[in-house]
Structure 1
Amino acid sequence: MNFCYLAFFEHAGNGPRTVSPDEIRRLETCLGGLAGLSKAHIYTPAEASDVYNDDGASPMLGLQLYFPSIETLEAAIGQGGALKALSESGDLPSIEGARSSQQAMVNRQFAVPDPRPAETTACSYVVHYPGPAADLNAWLTHYIDNHPPIMARFPGVRELEILTRLDWVDAMPWTRVDAIQRNRIMFDSPEALTEALHSPVREDMRADFGHFPAFEGGNFHYPMATRIIRPS
């Protein structure tokens, strides 16, 4: 178990629909030297199909930063933190005016049969449930106990994690959200993700979805190209 900071940016109005390669390089440089960081994912849109879900365009940019403690996470996004400085530097002009969201969460990682984590790139299916749930404890208990064993049977799955919310302190300029839960599965490529989402396992996922305790807010699924950054 570890802690994650997540931030996503969606196209809005007449702004850019993609983030430039120069901005990605600046992000890589910042994250590669971020104190306390275990690893980072930079997400950009990917194309994959799901038998049951089509939630529209993926966010133009996403960040998922892994930390060993809440203290190191909060230091990175607090006053004087490196990520706070980057957000104010003007080095990410594509996200100015974009719809932003940010959240810190507890990360639970689950074993898969053939992990083989990618060296630098992969494709993730990033999912979130805004909530609320009628009984959050019952909802999370069912999800954590029942959904991961099914997801772990997806052909070609390399990573599987579930994130749940916590309280956190930050100084970032982006909109705070409080999704009740997120999950992420990772594959070698968009094609491998599509194959998994059209496999018989997807039917088992759908069947379990029908047994979820009551919740509101729907759920949102986005395929994201995943650039993996490990600090130097």
Structure 2
Amino acid sequence: MQVCLFLIGAPRMQPLLDGAALQRAAEGIEGLSRLIVHEPLEQRVDPRIAASSDAPSTVLQWYFDDLAPLEAACAEDGAIHRALQAAAHHALSRQSFAQQVMAVRTHKRTARLDAERCTYLVAYEGIAENYNAWLSHYLEHHPPLMLQLPALRELEIYTRLDSRSGLPFAQANAMQRNKVVFDDASALATALASPVRDAMRRDFHALPPFTGATPHFAMRSNYGNLGTH
């Protein structure tokens, strides 16, 4: 199972990084198979959920095929930190990002990697009364509905994973994250307005009890090109 490091940029900040420079700096990181740079969309695409006023300034997804090389890359002053510093517009601080490593559950992923796509990122930041029951319900019922979204290109679900990190950023602790990916903002908006979304909302309300926020962020996603990956 793949693992993914999320770096979530602080909201309401000027762009932290040069995305193209970051992709170049990341090419030599051992074990890194994919790096996605997400930046917030300016237009509203979801007719059911209002756009958040505290969207992250950027979200970075660093994919590895195993936990050991990810932890090595996350060492203090390690490869990921050096890549971030090489691409940063200004000095980074503990408040620049929140970090979380998660297990990747891939339900759909297209073989072709376009340079840019459009993503809806969701986080479940709270606590379930019975996490096993909550996750079991979600994994059994929600992905089959999400896979019916028109023009869907990718679907991934991320679950908590304990790991080591020397990166100088605050720790996030979402109990789950997920994303759906489309070719562009128009395709995302069409999917979010479809009847499938109504079924997804009904299943959301049928989840076992949990507390906490579930922020939804529409993002422009740049996949770059990690050498041969």
Q: What's the TM-score, normalizing by structure 1?
A: 0.89
* 1:52 Cα deviation after fit: 2.1
Aligned twin of 2:122: 127
Aligned pair partner of 1:79 in 76, 82, 105: 76
Q: Distance between the aligned counterparts of 1:189 and 1:52, measured in 2? A: 19
Q: Distance between the aligned counterparts of 1:129 and 1:37, measured in 2? A: 26
User: Residue 44 in 1 paired to residue 39 in 2?
Assistant: yes
SS in 2 for 1:110: strand
Matched to 2:215, the amino acid is: F
Tell me how large the CA RMSD over aligned residues is: 2.0
User: Residue 65 in 1 paired to residue 65 in 2?
Assistant: no
Q: Distance between the aligned counterparts of 1:111 and 1:83, measured in 2? A: 27
1:131-169 Cα distance to aligned partner (Å, 9 max, x none) = 211011011101111110000000010000100001110
Matched to 1:104, the amino acid is: V
Q: Distance between the aligned counterparts of 2:26 and 2:34, measured in 1? A: 8
Aligned twin of 2:108: 111
Q: 5 Å matches for 1:84-99?
A: 84-88=81-85, 91-93=88-90
Matched to 2:108, the amino acid is: A
The unaligned stretches of length 5 or more in structure 1 are: none
The runs of at least 4 aligned residues of structure 1 exceeding 6 Å deviation read: none
| Number of residue pairs aligned between Structure 1 and Structure 2 | 225
Structure 1 range deviating more: 84-93 or 203-212: 84-93
CA contact (8 A) 2:11 2:54 kept: no
CA contact (8 A) 1:43 1:61 kept: yes
* 1:191 Cα deviation after fit: 1.0
* 1:94 Cα deviation after fit: 7.5
Aligned twin of 2:203: 208
1:107-136 Cα distance to aligned partner (Å, 9 max, x none) = 000037xx4644211011010011211011
1:176/1:98 CA distance change after superposition, 3 Å: closer
SS in 2 for 1:183: strand
CA contact (8 A) 1:11 1:99 kept: no
* 1:35 Cα deviation after fit: 1.4
SS in 2 for 1:93: coil
The unaligned stretches of length 5 or more in structure 2 are: none
* 1:17 Cα deviation after fit: 2.9
Matched to 2:124, the amino acid is: Y
SS in 2 for 1:65: strand
Aligned pair partner of 1:33 in 14, 28, 32: 28
CA contact (8 A) 2:31 2:64 kept: yes
Q: Percent identity?
A: 33
